[in-house]
C-alpha cells in the first residue's frame, strides 16, 4: 500500500513538473506576437491615388494604429519599432459593376488599393511587401459623395483586418 502511494506521488510530481514546462499563449484576436516584440511603428500612408479624398491617408493610418492598440499589447512608437509598417494608397476608383438591360449600371463599386511594407526586426522571415485591395458596392441611384464616407469606413475596416492578419496571424 505504501509503495503504491509512493508511486502515485512520484507520478503526480512528474506530471506537475511537465505542466510547469509548458507555456500556452492565448489571444482573442488570434495574433501570435513573440514575447520579445514590444513596439510597433506605423508610418503615415501617403495618398498616391489621384481621385482619393484628402482625408483617406489619415483615416487609414489611424485605423491601422487602432487595431494594434485594441488587439495587441504592443506600444506604438513613431519610428524604429520592433514591427514596422509603411506604405501608400495606390488606387481609388469607382466603376459600374452590374449592368441592366438598358446598359445602365444598377451598382457601382468603389475600390481602394494599398501597398504595404512590413518589417519585423526580430524575425526577418516575416518581412513582406504586399498590395491589398478591397471594395464596396453602392446603388447607381446614389451619388458617391453621399455614401463615400461610409464606404471608405467599411473598406478601411476590411483593409486593416487584412493587413493585421497577414502580419500577425501569418494568414
CA distance 97 to 137: 8
120 burial via Cβ count (<10 Å: 0-12, 13-18, 19+): buried
Answer whether residue 72 is part of any domain.
yes
Note the pLDDT of residue 32.
65
Answer whether residue 152 is part of any domain.
yes
Answer whether residue 12 is part of any domain.
no
Answer whether residue 21 is part of any domain.
no
Note the pLDDT of residue 107.
92
Answer whether residue 138 is part of any domain.
yes
User: What is the span of the domain harbouring residue 129?
Assistant: 28-168
Answer whether residue 10 is part of any domain.
no
Count of domains for the chain: 1
Say if CB 76 and CB 68 are below 8 A apart.
yes
Query: Which pTM was predicted?
Result: 0.78
Answer whether residue 82 is part of any domain.
yes
Note the pLDDT of residue 21.
46
CA torsion 126-30-117-147 (nearest 10°) is: 160
Note the pLDDT of residue 160.
98
What are the residues whose beta carbons fall under 8 Å from the beta carbon of 100, sequence distance 6 or more? 106
pLDDT by residue for the chain (171 residues), tens only, comes to: 555 555 455 445 544 444 444 433 334 445 667 888 999 999 999 999 999 999 999 999 999 999 999 999 999 999 999 999 999 999 999 999 877 767 677 899 999 999 999 999 999 899 999 999 999 999 989 999 999 999 999 999 999 999 999 999 865
Answer whether residue 18 is part of any domain.
no
**What are 20's three cell numbers?**
510547469
- Angle, vertex CA 159, rays to CA 87 and CA 69, nearest 5: 80
Q: Residue 48 is part of a domain; what is its CATH number?
A: 3.30.160.150
Note the pLDDT of residue 8.
59
Amino acid at each position: 500500500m505504501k509503495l503504491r502511494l509512493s508511486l502515485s506521488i512520484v507520478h503526480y510530481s512528474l506530471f506537475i513538473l511537465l505542466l510547469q514546462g509548458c507555456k500556452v499563449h492565448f489571444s482573442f484576436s488570434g495574433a501570435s506576437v513573440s514575447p520579445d516584440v514590444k513596439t510597433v511603428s506605423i508610418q503615415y500612408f501617403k495618398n498616391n491615388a489621384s481621385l482619393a479624398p484628402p482625408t483617406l491617408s489619415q483615416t487609414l493610418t489611424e485605423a491601422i494604429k487602432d487595431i494594434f492598440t485594441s488587439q495587441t499589447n504592443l506600444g506604438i512608437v513613431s519610428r524604429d519599432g520592433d514591427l514596422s509598417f509603411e506604405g501608400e494608397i495606390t488606387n481609388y476608383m469607382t466603376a459600374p459593376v452590374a449592368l441592366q438591360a438598358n446598359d445602365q449600371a444598377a451598382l457601382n463599386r468603389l475600390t481602394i488599393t494599398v501597398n504595404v511594407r512590413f518589417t519585423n526586426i526580430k524575425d526577418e522571415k516575416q518581412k513582406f511587401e504586399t498590395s491589398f485591395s478591397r471594395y464596396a458596392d453602392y446603388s447607381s441611384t446614389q451619388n458617391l459623395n453621399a455614401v463615400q464616407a461610409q464606404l471608405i469606413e467599411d473598406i478601411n475596416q476590411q483593409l486593416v483586418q487584412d493587413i493585421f492578419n497577414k502580419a500577425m496571424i501569418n494568414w
